[in-house]
Structure 1
Amino acid sequence: MRPPAARRRPTEALRAAAPAGPSALRVKSPDVLIAESGADREGHGLKRTMGLFQLVCFGIGAIVGTGIFVGLSDTVAQAGPAVIVSFVLAAVTCVFTAFSFAELGGAIPVSGSSYSYAYATLGERTAFLVGWCLLLEYGISVSAVAVGWGQYLNELLGSLTGWQLPAALSSPPGDGGIVNIPAVVVMLLAALLLVRGIRESARATAAMAVLKIAILILFCGIACTAFRAGNLTPFAPEGIAGITSGASLAFFSYIGFDAITTAGEEVKNPRRNIPLAIMICIGVVTVLYCLVAVGAIGALSAGQVAGRPAALSLIVNRVTESAFGGGVIAFGAVVAIASVVLAVMYGQTRILMSMSRDGLIPRVFERISPRTSTPVAGTWIVAVAFAVPAAVVPLDVVMNLTTIGTLSIMAVVNVSVMVLRRTRPDLPRRFRVPLFPLSPVLGIAFCGYLIYGTGPVTWLEFAGFLAVGALVYARYGRRHSRLGTTPRTPAGDAPETGQVSGGTAADARRG
C-alpha cells in the first residue's frame, strides 16, 4: 500500500509544496518532482518500456567505452603497473556514490538524476549548478567519447582494407588532427537513433553492451596467454602521486553509471530496478576493468602500452602476431564507443528536459514528440552543440574537465542523500545506503581526493566554468524559474492551476 504522500493526485502534490524563502534556497518537494514527471502514473508523455535487463545493458553501454579502450594507455602512463590500484581506487569512489544514487534513484524516480536530487534537498541555485556540471559529465564527455571512436575506426579500416582516413580528419587536435570527422558522424548517428524512440534505442544499446563485454573478455583471454610477471615490476614507479593521478584518469572509465537514473520515467518498476541496475553495473564493470588492466600490463610492459592510441588492438596484434585479432578488438571498440555516445546523449537530453520543465533553461528542451515519445528538438540541439568540441578539442583537455565536473556532482549527491534522510524520512525507499552516514561521508572524501589528483590547471578551468554557470543562473535561470513565479495564496498554497516549477506533464507536452 502506498504511503499517503505517494497517493496524492498530481495537483494536490503540487499545491502541497509551494516555494518559500530566497530563490537560491528554494527546494522542490520530491512529491512535486514525481507528480510533474508522472512517475506514479501512465500517459505522461514518456513511455515505460525498459525492464531490468535493458536498464543494466543501458548502464554498461553508458560506462564501457573510451575510458578503457582509449584512456587505458594514458592511465598506465601515470601509474605504471599500479594502474590496477588506480582502477580499484576509482571503483571504490564510485561504489560509495553508487549507494547514494541507488537510494535517491529509488526514492525519486524521475529523469533529472542528480539535478533533481539537488533541487529536492539543497536548493535551486545548487541544482542549477549541478545541471550545469552535468553538461560536462554528459555533454562534454560524449564529445570525448566520440573523439576516441575515430582512432579505433581507423584501426578497423586498416585491418580490413589496408586503408585509413587521413589523421588530419580522424584524430583529435594535438595528436595530428585538425577536424575529427568520425566524431561528428557518430554523434549524428546516435541522435538519429534516439529520436526514433526509446524502445529501439534500448534494444540497440543492449545488443552493443553484450557484444563489447564479449570483446573485452576475448581480449583478456588472448592477453593472458602472453602474461609475464616481470612486466609488473617496478609496480609503482611514480609512487602514490602516480597512483592518485592514474585514479583520476581511471575514474573517466566509470563515468556514466549514474545515467541509469536519467531513465527514471521510462523504466518499469523504477523504485526497484534503478537501485538494482546501478549495483549490478558497478560490480560487472569493476571486475572487467581490473581483468583488462592486468591482462594489458602482463602482456606488454607499461612503457610499451603508455600513451599508445588503440592500445588494446596493439596488444592483441603483438600477442597473436597478426592484424586480424587487433581488427576484432577494434570492431568491439567501435561498437562500444558508439553505444556510450548513444547512452550518454540520451542522459543529457533527459536532464535538460527536467531543467526545462523548471523554467531554468528554454522550453524547447521539454517538448516531447507525440509520435515517438522522445524530445526530438532537444536531442538534435545536443547532438549539434557537442559535435563541435568533439571535432576540434584535444582529448586530454576534455577528459580532465569532465572528470572534475563529475566528481563534484557525486560529492553533491552524497550530501543530498544525507539531507533527504533528515528532511523526508517518510519517503518510500526500496534501497537504503548501508553504513549510513559513514558511506556518503567516505564518498565525499574519495571524490575530494580524486579532484585533488586532477591538478591546479583543471581546478582553475573548472572554477571558471562554475563562475559562468552562476552568471547564467543569475541572468536567466532565477528570473524564469517556474518555482519562483508560482502565484501564492494568503495561506501559502499554490492555486488550483498547479503551476509550480515547470507545470504538469500535460503542460510539458503542450510546450
Structure 2
Amino acid sequence: MASKLLRKKTVEELTASATPLKRTMKTFDLTMLGIGAIIGTGIFVLTGKGALTAGPALSISFLLAAVCCGFAGLCYAEFASMVPVSGSAYSYSYVAFGELIAFVIGWDLILEYALQAATVSAGWSGYFNKLLEGFGIHLPVELTAAYGTTPGVTTYFNLPGFIVVLIITWVLAVGINQTKRTNDIMVMIKLAIIILFIVCTVWYVNPANWKPFSPYGIYTFQPGSSKPMGIIPAASIVFFSFIGFDAVSSSAEETVNPNKTLPRGIIYSLVISTVLYIAMTLIMTGIVKYPDFANFVDAPVAGVILATGLNWLAFIVNLGALIGMTTVMLVQLYGQTRICYAMSRDGLFPKFFGEVDDKHHTPWKGTWFFGLLTAIAGGLININILFELVNIGTLSAFIIVSAGVLWMRHTQPDAHRGFRAPGVPVTPILAIIFCAVLIAGLTWQTWVRFVIWFAIGLCVYFGYSRRHSKLNGRPEPAVADIESGKGPEPLVD
C-alpha cells in the first residue's frame, strides 16, 4: 500500500508521455508571461494595505517576499530544466516524492490558480466600472459585484468580471500563439504605463514622508488590534503580488529549448518585477504619508496621483490597472489548465481534461471547463476572505519544490540538469525557512480552510485517482528503488 502511494515517475516517463503541444515560447515570451502574472494586484491594490501595515518599510516587505520567491524560483528553475514537461510543481513532486505528494501539490495549485483568477476578476470589475463612469456610463449596481460584497448596497452578480474571464478563456482555447501575442502586447503596455507613472511622479517625493521609515518595526501588535503590524506581516500580504511566476514552468511543453529558456524566464521576470515594486512603493510612500493611505486603501495608486494633481495621469493608470489584472488572470488560467492537463495525462484526473484539440493544439475542453467555473465563482461568490488561501497553497508548493531539489541532489546527483540552483543546500533551505515564516503570518481561519480543501483532495485521490493512475499498469519497483528515487523502465503505450 505504502509503495503505491509513493510510486514515482522517472523523467523519461514524463517526457515520453508528453503530447505534441506547439513549441513557440522563447525567453522573451516566458519573461513576459512571468511579469504578466506578477505585476497587477500587487501594485494597484495591495500597496495601500501594505503601507498601512509597514509604513515606508513596505519596500523592505516587498524585498523580503521577493527574496523568498527568488530562492524558490531558483529551485523551480533547476526542476524546470530537469523535468521539461507541463505540470510545474506537480510534475516535479511526481519525480521526487511520488504520486500522493504530487497529487496533493497539484490539488494545491488548482486552489492557487483558480482562486486567484477569480479574486482578481472582482478587482478588475471595480477598475472597469470606474473607467466607464469616467465616460458617463453607469452599469446597474446589482450587476457590478458578487452577492453581498458591497456593504450597504444590494448586489447579485459581477457581470464585468464574468465576461472578462470568458474572453480570456477563449484566447487561451484558440491557441498558444494567440495567448503569447496577447500577453506580450498587454505586458509591454502595462510596463510602459508603470514607467510613465514613475517618471511623472518621482519629482513629487518628499523625503520627510519616509520618517519614521519603519514605524511598526519587524513584527508587533498595536494596542487594541488583533492584527500584527510591521515588515513581516506586510510581506505576508504582498507575497500575493508575486504569486504566478511558477506558472511559467507550466509552459515547458510549449517552450523552445526549455532547459535554458525556462530558468531564464523565471529569474528575469522576478528580478524585473521586484525592481518595479520597490521603486513604486518608495515613490508612493514618499508622496503620501503612510497613514493617509487609509483614505484610498482600495485604489492607492489613484490616491497618490490625486495628491500630485496630475489628474490626466489617472485615466492612463486606470487603464494600466485593467491591463495588469487581465494579464494576471490570463497567466493563472493558463497555468490552471496545464496542471489539470498533466494530471489527466497521468490518469489522476478524468481524460476529459487532457484531450488536446487537433485544430488549436490546446486542451480545449479542460480550458473551457475551468474558465467557466472560474467566471461563475468570480461572478457569484464573495471570495474576499479566501485571499490568504491562495498564499498558503502557493507557499506549500514552494516548500515541496525546494525540498525536492535537496532530495534529488541526494538521490540522483548525476541526473541531467540544464540549470543548477547555486548554493545548494543553502538555497533550498533558505526558501523553506522564508516560506515557513510567511505561512506563520497567516490566520488560523486560513489553516482551517486549507485543511478542509486538503481533505477534499484526499477523498478525490483515494476515490478516483489512485485507481485510475497510469502507473497501475506497470510492475512495482523495489523498495530500494523507491527510496533512491529510481523508477522502472519507461512505459510504452
Counterpart pick for 1:250 among 238, 242, 257? 238
2:135 corresponds to 1:147:
no
Aligned AA (1:169): L
- In the alignment, is the contact (CA less than 8 A) between 2:10 and 2:490 conserved in 1? no
Corresponding position of 1:367: 355
For residues 21 and 321 of structure 1, the distance between their equivalents in structure 2, rounded to whole angstroms, comes to 64
Corresponding position of 2:430: 442
Structure 1 residue 327 displacement after superposition: 0.8
For residues 69 and 110 of structure 1, the distance between their equivalents in structure 2, rounded to whole angstroms, comes to 33
Deviations 1:266-295 (A, max 9, x none): 010110100011111111000000111111
Aligned AA (1:320): G
Structure 1 residue 166 displacement after superposition: 4.4
Structure 1 residue 227 displacement after superposition: 0.9
Are residues 496 and 425 of structure 1, via their aligned partners in 2, closer, same or farther at CA, if it must alter by over 3 Å? closer
2:348 corresponds to 1:345:
no
Corresponding position of 1:129: 104
Corresponding position of 2:65: 90
Corresponding position of 2:136: 162
- In the alignment, is the contact (CA less than 8 A) between 1:186 and 1:341 conserved in 2? no
Are residues 87 and 394 of structure 1, via their aligned partners in 2, closer, same or farther at CA, if it must alter by over 3 Å? farther
Are residues 280 and 145 of structure 1, via their aligned partners in 2, closer, same or farther at CA, if it must alter by over 3 Å? same
Corresponding position of 1:313: 302
Moved more, 374-383 or 166-175: 166-175
Structure 1 residue 487 displacement after superposition: 6.0
Aligned residues: 471
Q: Superposed, which structure 2 residues align to 1:409-420 within 5 Å?
A: 409-420=397-408
- In the alignment, is the contact (CA less than 8 A) between 1:105 and 1:261 conserved in 2? yes
Are residues 80 and 355 of structure 1, via their aligned partners in 2, closer, same or farther at CA, if it must alter by over 3 Å? same
- In the alignment, is the contact (CA less than 8 A) between 1:100 and 1:414 conserved in 2? yes
Corresponding position of 2:206: 228
Aligned-residue sequence identity (percent) comes to 37
Deviations 1:214-252 (A, max 9, x none): 111112223312212222233333332222221111100
Counterpart pick for 2:9 among 20, 23, 28? 28
- In the alignment, is the contact (CA less than 8 A) between 2:79 and 2:405 conserved in 1? yes
2:173 corresponds to 1:195:
yes
For residues 149 and 213 of structure 2, the distance between their equivalents in structure 1, rounded to whole angstroms, comes to 30
TM-score by length of 2: 0.91
2:217 corresponds to 1:239:
yes
Moved more, 60-69 or 276-285: 60-69
For residues 471 and 245 of structure 1, the distance between their equivalents in structure 2, rounded to whole angstroms, comes to 34
Are residues 482 and 223 of structure 1, via their aligned partners in 2, closer, same or farther at CA, if it must alter by over 3 Å? same
- In the alignment, is the contact (CA less than 8 A) between 1:313 and 1:327 conserved in 2? no
Corresponding position of 1:498: 492
Structure 1 residue 70 displacement after superposition: 1.8
For residues 421 and 117 of structure 1, the distance between their equivalents in structure 2, rounded to whole angstroms, comes to 13
- In the alignment, is the contact (CA less than 8 A) between 2:24 and 2:254 conserved in 1? yes
For residues 332 and 463 of structure 1, the distance between their equivalents in structure 2, rounded to whole angstroms, comes to 37
For residues 413 and 105 of structure 2, the distance between their equivalents in structure 1, rounded to whole angstroms, comes to 24
Deviations 1:174-199 (A, max 9, x none): 33454222111111000111111101
Structure 1 residue 316 displacement after superposition: 1.6
TM-score by length of 1: 0.88
2:269 corresponds to 1:281:
yes
- In the alignment, is the contact (CA less than 8 A) between 2:85 and 2:250 conserved in 1? yes
- In the alignment, is the contact (CA less than 8 A) between 2:337 and 2:363 conserved in 1? yes
Moved more, 239-248 or 480-489: 480-489
For residues 419 and 178 of structure 1, the distance between their equivalents in structure 2, rounded to whole angstroms, comes to 49
- In the alignment, is the contact (CA less than 8 A) between 2:13 and 2:490 conserved in 1? no
Paired residue secondary structure (2:157): coil
For residues 269 and 56 of structure 1, the distance between their equivalents in structure 2, rounded to whole angstroms, comes to 14
Deviations 1:189-212 (A, max 9, x none): 001111111011101100111111
Deviations 1:424-447 (A, max 9, x none): 222221211111101100100000
For residues 490 and 275 of structure 2, the distance between their equivalents in structure 1, rounded to whole angstroms, comes to 53
For residues 65 and 489 of structure 2, the distance between their equivalents in structure 1, rounded to whole angstroms, comes to 48
- In the alignment, is the contact (CA less than 8 A) between 2:110 and 2:339 conserved in 1? no
- In the alignment, is the contact (CA less than 8 A) between 1:223 and 1:298 conserved in 2? no
For residues 496 and 209 of structure 1, the distance between their equivalents in structure 2, rounded to whole angstroms, comes to 40
Paired residue secondary structure (1:390): helix
Structure 1 residue 105 displacement after superposition: 0.4
Paired residue secondary structure (1:265): helix
For residues 363 and 88 of structure 1, the distance between their equivalents in structure 2, rounded to whole angstroms, comes to 42
| Backbone CA RMSD of aligned residues | 2.1
